């Protein structure tokens, strides 16, 4: 049996590194050996909790350790330099979404990984959700006819969780790239691209600032037009009250010429429901269907989605194959975000230009 892949975690001032650890521990093909953060106390505490070697910065870690794979959770503006350095050392790279604070930074990572022939992936995990996979199957099968309109809502809160999680940099536009549209909206942008097999070509955006203490938006709304003609309405925010179930309000819907479907992810727990209604003759005498899913719920970030992703990336590295969610996906999502911000600033529709 081959040895486990040696994994390093770059950056700990983020909400996700600790919640990824159960996945690394469960996937036999991975072994986290070291972690780093500019906050030495944070790095030392994390390393002590998980039996790892600690470093005060990613440059020192890369100089001292021989890694196969790095998971990068640094402030978004610092990710390109660190990921490029990993690639130069032939270390495969997973960079937490949205990968960089700018599209230019994202392209730098993609180019470095291509140049050095290493894997690069962004964990857009919702593609791995069983309900989303069923939605994709139904769309591809033509059950809804031509998709006319979609709706995506991803609201989470509040901003205090970033401060308490020692990730206050998320509330600084220069370091994060933006507010909820950059941090959360990219999930839905990527997911709808995948569901529809189409690209967003024009956006109209509007941002709302609630907190005067931060230079990011608290709420971001956008109307996105795909090259297929489908319209997507996005409602992305950090303003869900703490009392909201699991602190998140999530919703996905698609409407076509022959039917519609909707899904309100519970995010946590095992029971999920997909509602489908259509005229397709394959529905027979039951034009309305409520499809129930009973999912596994292992500990760790995003449960079974996170576990499957870690296992899949490890297998990709072993087989020397590109990741299913790769550089093009990361760049496309950020291009759309930047166009939404440009539209919100100018008050005009903006074409999404892919370079």
Please check the confidence at residue 268 and state whether its pLDDT lies above 80.
no
Residue 22, φ and ψ in degrees, nearest 5: -60, -30
- Across 178-203, average pLDDT: 98
Mean pLDDT of the chain: 95
Beta strands in the chain, from DSSP E residues, in sequence order:
5-10, 30-36, 53-55, 69-72, 92-95, 120-121, 147-156, 200-208, 219-226, 231-237, 248-256, 259-263, 271-278, 288-294, 350-351
The string of pLDDT tens digits covering residues 205-231 is 999 998 888 999 999 999 999 999 999
pLDDT for the residue numbered 297: 87
What percent of the chain lies above the pLDDT cut of 70? 99
The pLDDT assigned to 170 comes to 96
pTM of model > 0.85? yes
**What mean pLDDT do residues 35-55 have?**
98
- Residue 323 pLDDT: 98
- Strands 5-10 vs 69-72: parallel, antiparallel or unpaired: parallel
For residues 296 and 89, which has the higher predicted lDDT (pLDDT)? 89
Per-residue pLDDT for 1 more than 90? no
Of residues 353 and 11, which shows the higher confidence score? 11
Average pLDDT over residues 13-32: 98
| Residue 336 pLDDT exceeds 90 | yes
Q: Average pLDDT in the 57-61 region?
A: 98
Higher-scoring residue by pLDDT: 99, 284? 99
275-311 confidence digits (pLDDT tens) = 999 998 887 777 888 999 998 889 999 999 999 999 9
pLDDT of 348 reads 98
- Give the model's pLDDT for residue 212: 86
Domains of the chain: 5-124+305-326 (3.40.50.720), 126-298+334-351 (3.30.360.10)
Exposure string of 251-260, with b = 16+ CB inside 10 Å and e = fewer, is ebbbbbebbb
C-alpha pair distances (Å), 352 with each of 13, 77, 91, 326: 32, 22, 32, 19
Confidence of residue 158 (pLDDT cuts 50, 70, 90): confident
Q: Check whether 245 has a pLDDT greater than 90.
A: no
Average pLDDT, integer, range 66-87: 98
Confidence (pLDDT) at 282: 82
Q: Quote the pLDDT of residue 73.
A: 98
Q: Given a cut of 90, is residue 327 above it in pLDDT?
A: yes
As a whole number of angstroms, the distance between CA 350 and CA 338 comes to 10
What local confidence, expressed as pLDDT, does residue 266 receive? Answer: 84
Closest CA to 217 of 162, 177, 186, 189: 177
Q: What is the pLDDT of residue 160?
A: 86
Confidence of residue 13 (pLDDT cuts 50, 70, 90): very high
């Amino acid at each position: 049996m081959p040895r486990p892949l040696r994994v390093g975690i770059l950056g700990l001032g983020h909400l996700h590194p600790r919640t990824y650890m159960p996945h690394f521990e469960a996937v036999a093909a991975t072994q986290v050996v070291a972690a780093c953060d500019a906050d030495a106390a944070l790095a030392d505490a994390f390393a002590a909790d998980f039996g790892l070697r600690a470093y005060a910065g990613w440059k020192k870690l890369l100089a001292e350790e021989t890694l196969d794979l790095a998971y990068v959770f640094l402030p978004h503006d610092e990710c390109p330099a660190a990921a490029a350095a990993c690639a130069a050392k032939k270390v495969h790279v997973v960079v937490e979404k949205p990968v960089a604070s700018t599209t230019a930074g994202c392209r730098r990572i993609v180019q470095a990984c291509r140049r050095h022939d290493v894997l690069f992936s962004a964990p857009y995990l919702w593609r791995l959700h069983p309900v989303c996979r069923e939605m994709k199957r139904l769309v591809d099968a033509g059950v809804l006819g031509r998709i006319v309109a979609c709706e995506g809502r991803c609201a989470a809160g509040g901003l205090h969780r970033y401060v308490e999680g020692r990730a206050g940099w998320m509330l600084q536009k220069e370091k994060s790239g933006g507010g909820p549209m950059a941090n959360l909206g990219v999930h839905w942008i990527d997911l709808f691209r995948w569901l529809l097999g189409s690209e967003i070509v024009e956006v109209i955006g509007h941002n709302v600032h609630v907190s005067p203490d931060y230079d990011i938006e608290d709420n971001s709304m956008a109307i996105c037009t795909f090259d297929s003609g489908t319209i997507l309405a996005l409602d992305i925010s950090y303003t869900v009250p703490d009392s909201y179930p699991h602190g998140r309000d999530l919703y996905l819907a698609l409407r076509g010429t022959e039917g519609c479907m909707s899904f309100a992810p519970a995010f946590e727990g095992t029971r999920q429901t997909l509602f489908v209604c259509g005229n397709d003759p394959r529905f027979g005498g039951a034009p309305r269907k409520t499809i129930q899913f009973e999912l596994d719920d292992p500990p760790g970030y995003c449960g079974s989605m996170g576990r499957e992703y870690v296992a899949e990336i490890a297998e990709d590295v072993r087989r020397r194959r590109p990741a299913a969610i790769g550089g093009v996906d990361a760049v496309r999502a950020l291009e759309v975000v930047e166009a939404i911000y440009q539209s919100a600033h100018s008050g005009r529709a903006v074409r999404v230009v892919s370079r």
